[in-house]
Amino acid sequence: MSDGTLPAVLITAFAERPLQGNGAAVVALKQPAPAAWMQAVAGLLRQSETAFLLPLSRLEPGTEPAGEWALRWFTPRCEVPLCGHATLASALALGHWGLLARGASIRLHSRSGPLLVSLSESAAGRAQLVLPSAGLEPSPLPAELDRLLGVTPVCGWRSALGYWVALLPPEFDLAGLDGHSLAQELRGEVRQGLVLMQALAASGHSPTVQGFPADYQLRFLAPGLGISEDPVTGSAHALVAPWWCDQLRRERVVGWQPSPQGGGMVCERLSSGMIRLLGSGQLLWDGRLRAGFEAGEAEDWSCCLPGPG
């Protein structure tokens, strides 16, 4: 039996100020943990996602522990293949633990492949990560959305992530939406992830992220994943940022999420087709997790091993 004492932090990611952004717990493992144990921990911590980091050397002998890490994410209900805010939080946690220096970059290996993260050299609490963008496929939206929203979306899409995306007219009060109530009314596949987005008027009154005014805003509902509303969603911004880049004819756009907690990020489209997200985070608490598991219970973590080449 392990002693059950593991470093753990809670970081609010994509937060421009304290008590803003999206909370993510980050736990540093000493050995591969079983999925059932990680799911139980995530269920008790009740954050949108809890991230579990494991030195890659525990999976691939000869890999330096400080060099690369395996990373998995769990909502209170299930494991997910990609999570932006908990990846940002993981980078900041590694910096807090002295395992990632300012200005340095490392790869975190996940079910979605290797994700490059780095800490800002000039500003504490800032980091960036590179996420894949699944691409949007035009698609009719479920007819129920017109009734639930009280407005007809301008257009809609689906994505390989399983998210539905709806572009709403500018007059819709997205910031005033009761996301929790709407999430409870969703039915069918749309419960796995619904992005509601709209342009922000260039009026000078837009929220700012790292000093840049936001170009668009979105809300993200995912009751099928155990999250009525995710406060700030990196994977959703990585998904829609290329569309906004095309609309605005720029390679950098700023997204805002007007959930009750609020937060945002700067999104840069890279030549590879990946999206770089720049954001800030706030350390909320720092402690030790006391919950053991039998070493023999650990499942196969090969999903996080680097591929050939």
Same-domain check for residues 253 and 287? no
Tens digits of residue pLDDT in 152-178: 999 999 999 899 999 999 999 999 999
Three-state DSSP class for residue 292 = coil
pLDDT beyond 60 at 60: yes
Q: Which domain holds residue 41?
A: 5-132+282-304
Domains identified in the chain, total number:
2
- The pLDDT of 133-139, averaged and rounded, is 92
Active-site annotation, residues: 49
- Per this entry, what is the length of the chain? 309
Same domain, 112 and 169: no
**Claim to verify: residue 199 and residue 151 sit in the same structural domain:** yes
Same domain, 64 and 95: yes
Residue range 119-136: mean pLDDT, rounded: 93
| Percentage of the chain exceeding pLDDT 90 | 81
Q: Residue 276 domain-assigned? A: no
CA 7 to chain centre: 21
pLDDT band of 237, cuts 50, 70, 90: very high
Say yes or no: 103 and 204 in one domain. Answer: no
213 in a domain, yes or no? yes
For residue 309, the model assigns a pLDDT of: 45
- Tell me the mean pLDDT in the region 81-94: 97
Q: Let me know whether 223 and 118 are in one domain.
A: no
Asked whether residue 71 is domain-assigned, the answer is: yes
Indicate if the pLDDT at residue 227 is higher than 70: yes
To 10 degrees, what angle do helices 84-96 and 234-248 make?
110
Question: Are 210 and 298 found together in one domain?
Answer: no
Tell me how far apart the alpha carbons of residues 142 and 191 are, in angstroms, rounded to a whole number.
Answer: 11
pLDDT score, position 118: 97
Q: Does a structural domain hold residue 59?
A: yes
In this structure, the answer to whether residues 287 and 186 fall within a common structural domain is no
Instruction: Examine residue 57 and state whether it is found in any structural domain, yes or no.
Output: yes
Q: pLDDT, tens digit, for every residue of 166-214?
A: 999 999 999 999 999 999 999 999 999 999 999 997 655 789 999 999 9
CB crowding 126-137: b at 16 or more within 10 Å, else e: bbbbbbbbbebe
Same domain, 264 and 152: yes
Same domain flag for 170 and 108 = no
- In this structure, are residues 86 and 73 in contact, taking their beta carbons and an 8 Å threshold? yes
Residue 308 has pLDDT above 60, yes or no: no
pLDDT at 109 over 70: yes
Note whether residue 277 is domain-resident: no
pLDDT value for 4: 66
Q: What is the residue-wise DSSP string for 133-151?
A: ---EEE-PPPTHHHHHHTS
Residue 43 in domain = yes
Residues 146 and 255 in one domain: yes
The CATH code of the domain that includes 201 is: 3.10.310.10
Q: Are residues 58 and 126 both part of a single domain? A: yes
Q: Is residue 209 part of a domain?
A: yes
Q: What is the pLDDT, as a whole number, of residue 142? A: 92
> Residue 101: what pLDDT?
95
- The reported pLDDT for the residue numbered 126 is 97
Percent of the chain topping pLDDT 70:
94
